[in-house]
Amino acid sequence: MKESILNAVNKQIQAEFQSAYDYLAMSSRFEVLNYPGAAAWMRMQWQEETAHAMKFYDYLVRRGAGPTLLEVKAPSVTFNSALEAFELVLEQERGVTKLIHELYALAVNEHDYPLQTLLHWFIDEQVEEEEAAEAIIDSLRMAGDSGQGLLMIDRELGARQAGSE
């Protein structure tokens, strides 16, 4: 495996763990704001992002490379409403999508076909991630400041099952 690929995949592992850590911080904030459904949704997102990091980790191991774990920084996530939070989610997912696309371009440039194959799954996954965040944002905008609407959305978020957005 080329050094450029190894370094880029290690960077992606860090980005996935950083994303997971940010989602865990969002879960904590939602607990404080008394949105148990949104807190559960964010915690599930934390698990999903951790699983994504481990897919890249395991990929390196299967290719005979030792993953290098890079620094994960303390989250600096702040928001005062569910809408603000999910706008941050969308922004974060778009950032991850950009990283995945850059990694794919590198894999193409370096003729790393196994990495390209792995990244097809991630490209599809990111489409789903962004679509889910956009749908939640749309619902939150429709609900506005309606306590009943926000309660209903929070319950829907809390009903999310593993593997679903």
Domain assignment present for residue 165? The answer is: no
Give pTM, 2 decimals.
0.93
CA 118, distance to chain mean position in Å, is 17
Q: Hey, what are 66's tokens?
A: 């030792």
Can you give the pLDDT of all 165 residues of the chain as single tens digits?
999 999 999 999 999 999 999 999 999 999 999 999 999 999 999 999 999 999 999 999 999 999 999 999 999 888 999 999 999 999 999 999 999 999 999 999 999 999 999 999 999 999 999 999 999 999 999 999 888 999 999 999 999 876 555
pLDDT, position 39? 97
Domain assignment present for residue 49? The answer is: yes
Domain assignment present for residue 153? The answer is: yes
Domain assignment present for residue 154? The answer is: yes
Tell me how many domains the chain contains. Answer: 1
For residue 106, the domain's CATH number is 1.20.1260.10
Domain assignment present for residue 151? The answer is: yes
Domain assignment present for residue 164? The answer is: no
For 39, 40, 71, 132, the CA distances from 156, given in Å and listed in that order, are 12, 11, 34, 13
For 40, 44, 60, 107, 157, the CA distances from 123, given in Å and listed in that order, are 25, 20, 18, 13, 24
Q: Which structural domain range is residue 34 located in?
A: 3-158
Domain assignment present for residue 37? The answer is: yes
Q: Which residue has the tokens 């974060």?
A: 92
pLDDT, position 76? 87
Domain assignment present for residue 122? The answer is: yes
Inter-axis angle of helices 82-109 and 36-62, nearest 10: 10
